[in-house]
Structure 1
Amino acid sequence: MLGTYFLPIGYALLTFPLLAFFFTLPFLIVQYRKYGYVNKVRSLVLYSLLLYLLTALYLVILPLPATTHTCIGASSSFTQWMPFQFVQDIVRETKVRINQPTTYVHLFKERAFLQVVFNILLLVPLGMFLRYYFQRKLFLVVAAAFGLSLFFEITQGTGLYGIYDCPYRLFDVDDLMLNTLGGLLGYALAPLLTLILPHPKHLDDYVDLSATRVSYIRRIIALQIDWFILSFLVALFWDPESPLGLAIPMFAYFVLLPYATNGRTLGKFIVRIRLQGQGPKLKLQEIIMRYGVLYFAVGGLHYLFIIGASLQFHPVVLIPLLLVLFMVDIVLVVHVLFTVFRRDKKLFYETWSGTKNVIT
């Protein structure tokens, strides 16, 4: 019977990277906003929780039937409302004799007993996560365990919410009780986690945000948010025949807005960073130097080539421009690669402008 659990666990391990990919961006934004940085222990716990929930779901719904027409040959009853029916099942199916302790070993070979153990263990991690990391009280942990178990049972009892004609697994009241008991057991065992992991209340002790370097990942997230917002402004001013249709909203967003907010764009605000110059107040010339070189010089060359290609400029003009762009891009790529491994990790436009990103 244990072999039946390997398939769902295997599917969970295979699909977890995809789920983690979509989970990562909102996870990082929340961590940056709430704590100002990403803690490794907190990341380990939350990604483990995500993997656990995915595995638990797959254990409940897999393997799927070969056809959606599951009513053919199905039982007329898809529910079991008798509490403690599992006790009768164990007595009936096992070879255990109460007065013969040597027969107790047979419990670990019988489906009915192993099913009970599985249903208890299924939500033990949930109770541990809720108490250790989220610091929830006993009542809330029990309620959450019962709620998740009820979700699983409804999912089974409705045939994956109507995907299948009839349920292919039983809605069992014993599962609700055993799952909830598992959550309660996890609550009781949660203090053991503090033997190997720090207490959640102390994860952020001794963290100095003013000395924490702003990672490239954090800057890329802010940049993605900024360009997503800027795309709507560009749409209002866009004129393929005039570079001002792109230059005006870019100048307003990346120069005037940071100047007015002392280094913040909407993207930087969301991930809790800002530009800092040489003094307490960011100067306009510092911003112009930073973004003028990056967007209007380097970016302007790329924009000019795109416009020239779309308007079918003569090859005498396009080919030299393409060669210049190629050389510029090669230099930029090499510069970025070298900067990643340098101690100060400052890009050229940061050095020239005397600006840097700091955590707020």
Structure 2
Amino acid sequence: MLFPVTAALFAVPFMIVQYRRHGYIHKVRAIVLYLLLLYLMNAFFLILLPLPKSIHNEPPQAGSYFQLVPFRFVSDILRETAVKADAPSTYWHLLKERAVWQVAFNVVLTVPFGMFLRYYFRANWLRCLLLSLGLSLLFETTQVTGIFGIYDYPYRLFDVDDLLTNTAGGMVGFLVAEWVASHLPRIDKLDENVDLTQQRVSYTRRGLAFLIDWIVMAPAMGILRVFDVPYPYVAAVLIYFVGLPFFTNGRTIGKWAVRIRLKGRGERIRLDELLIRYGLLYLVVFGLNLLDAAYLANHGSKIVAALGALALLVMDAAFGLHLISRMITRKRQLFYEERSGTGHVIA
């Protein structure tokens, strides 16, 4: 249930990193990284749950919070098992022993981690060994600290055997990944035949750049208001969306983050192209909405308010339908792009 929320929060940084590093998003990378996220969430829930009923829990019954004797599980198995060394017919009883299943599941727990390390991150055996040990150490530390102090006492013990079996599981995954990788596309070869000049700039990518730009713009307008700059919205639009792209040849902070830029009719984008593009979008479409809101805040005429709201409703509905039509048809240029002769390209 938590995965969709976490995946949504992960989406923005994931897209920014993919756009910056590769210039586009490949579906294989996306699937593998989201599977890694899902795996790590499941692994942590498996070692953390069930939680104590209260954060004011009782201390463990054992005298110590640590089990530091390596291979203690071997003596546990020998003590609990009904297997007799001289009677092979009793060996199947091992499958019924709790200690055996605990070891087996501790190994299986980190097998996917080793597979991800080798297949996606191209880790060598030593790095896989150290990272698997580090992941297991994180598991054990989380448990023995009561989830880093959330609970009064640890509700599970730190067990060195868990470190050994988890690390072994990571190395098993490292070995298995060689066979798995032979049936999957090679991560280091995904971009070999990709021509970024032929890649279309999606509306998702443009929307992410828009989001970043307005996160930057909002405090900028606040600063202009503090210094009593006349018409702070207009000033911010002209500085950020016209002046900045003019000097950077089509880039804003948001466009830089997702590796796109504006291109006009020539090699360098012109000032008049930027004025037409963003004048129509931010000063006309967005600006009229803000102007109407400001007018209604200072005037109480119901007739004017009704007429203004109706006019804006028509304009916004027309713009919304225009945007949807461009998203679902081959003709993808929006009206302000057609008028200004500008468009997005991958930088």
Same fold, TM exceeding 0.5?
yes
> What do residues 251-293 of structure 1 show as CA deviations (whole Å, max 9, x unaligned)?
1111111111111111111111000111212122211111111
Q: Aligned pair 1:29/2:21, yes or no?
A: no
Match of 1:299 in 2: 286
Alpha-carbon distance between aligned partners in 2 of 1:242 and 1:83, rounded to the nearest angstrom: 70
Return the offset for 1:54.
1.0
- The answer on whether the counterparts of 1:96 and 1:103 sit within 8 Å (CA) in structure 2 is yes
SS of 2:185's equivalent? coil
Amino acid paired to 2:52: P
Match of 1:198 in 2: 185
Match of 2:247 in 1: 260
Note the 1:153-168 alignment, pairs <5 A: 153-168=140-155
Amino acid paired to 1:270: A
Return the offset for 1:17.
1.1
Change (3 A) 1:313 1:71: closer
> What do residues 140-182 of structure 1 show as CA deviations (whole Å, max 9, x unaligned)?
1111111111111111112222222222112111111111111
Alpha-carbon distance between aligned partners in 1 of 2:284 and 2:97, rounded to the nearest angstrom: 73
Q: Aligned pair 1:59/2:46, yes or no?
A: yes
Match of 2:337 in 1: 350
2:320 to 313, 330, 333: 333
Moved more, 64-73 or 110-119: 64-73
Amino acid paired to 2:99: A
SS of 2:246's equivalent? helix
RMSD: 1.8
Structure 1, unaligned runs of 5 or more: 1-13
Alpha-carbon distance between aligned partners in 2 of 1:333 and 1:342, rounded to the nearest angstrom: 14
Return the offset for 1:103.
2.6
Alpha-carbon distance between aligned partners in 2 of 1:239 and 1:335, rounded to the nearest angstrom: 37
TM-score (norm 2): 0.95
Note the 1:1-360 alignment, pairs <5 A: 14-71=1-58, 74-238=61-225, 244-360=231-347
4+ runs of 1 displaced by more than 4 Å?
239-243
> What do residues 234-259 of structure 1 show as CA deviations (whole Å, max 9, x unaligned)?
11222899862210111111111111
Return the offset for 1:335.
1.2
Return the offset for 1:338.
1.3
**How many residue pairs align between the two structures?**
347
Amino acid paired to 2:154: P
SS of 1:238's equivalent? helix
Amino acid paired to 1:23: F
Match of 1:3 in 2: none
Return the offset for 1:317.
2.3
TM-score (norm 1): 0.92
Structure 2, unaligned runs of 5 or more: none
Alpha-carbon distance between aligned partners in 1 of 2:297 and 2:224, rounded to the nearest angstrom: 19
Alpha-carbon distance between aligned partners in 2 of 1:359 and 1:93, rounded to the nearest angstrom: 64
SS of 2:345's equivalent? strand
Change (3 A) 1:244 1:154: same
Return the offset for 1:336.
1.4
Alpha-carbon distance between aligned partners in 1 of 2:266 and 2:154, rounded to the nearest angstrom: 68
Amino acid paired to 1:219: R
Alpha-carbon distance between aligned partners in 2 of 1:257 and 1:219, rounded to the nearest angstrom: 17
